[in-house]
Amino acid sequence: MFFSKKNRIYAPVAGTFVPLKEVNDPVFAQGMMGDGVAVEPKETHILSPVDGTVTMISEQQHGIGIQMEDGTDLLIHMGIDTVELGGTPFLTKVAIGDKVSSGDLLSIMDIEAIQSLGKETVIMLIATGKQLSKVQFSSRREVEASSELARI
């Protein structure tokens, strides 16, 4: 099967790749929201992992939805239980309807503030309604921002 750029999911930030099943949230770890991957961030600037159109920004700014060119919906979920923080640790840099390319700035995430409030900062990338055809890694490892993580 031929994979073009539109089938690829890239790291939204430099950090540690985490298999989704190891995320400390059963809803995500058990795949209830969909198939995906995760990254524990080392940087604050969260980049778009795909090309597409912004379709959703959660009220608390911890989640951004992007519809990819093939119609796949990708959820970028920043942190675990960060919905409880009222949006203050996030500065969203896109709006619903914006066209984005992989590598474009989506949000600035205050990692220190999130951690100081006892929350985890892992970023989950969830392809809702689709299975990933290939995940680049099977265990934790360091990744650079914009490096390929998975294919749909």
Distances (CA, A) of 88 to 64, 93, 124, 151: 15, 14, 19, 32
d(CA 110, CA 115): 9
Phi, psi of 111 (to 5 degrees): -60, -45
User: Is 66 in contact with 100 (CB distance < 8 Å)?
Assistant: yes
DSSP secondary structure string, 27-59? HHHTTSS-EEEEEEESSSEEEPSSSEEEEEE-T
Residues identified as active-site: 77
- Residue 5: how many other CB atoms lie within 10 Å: 12
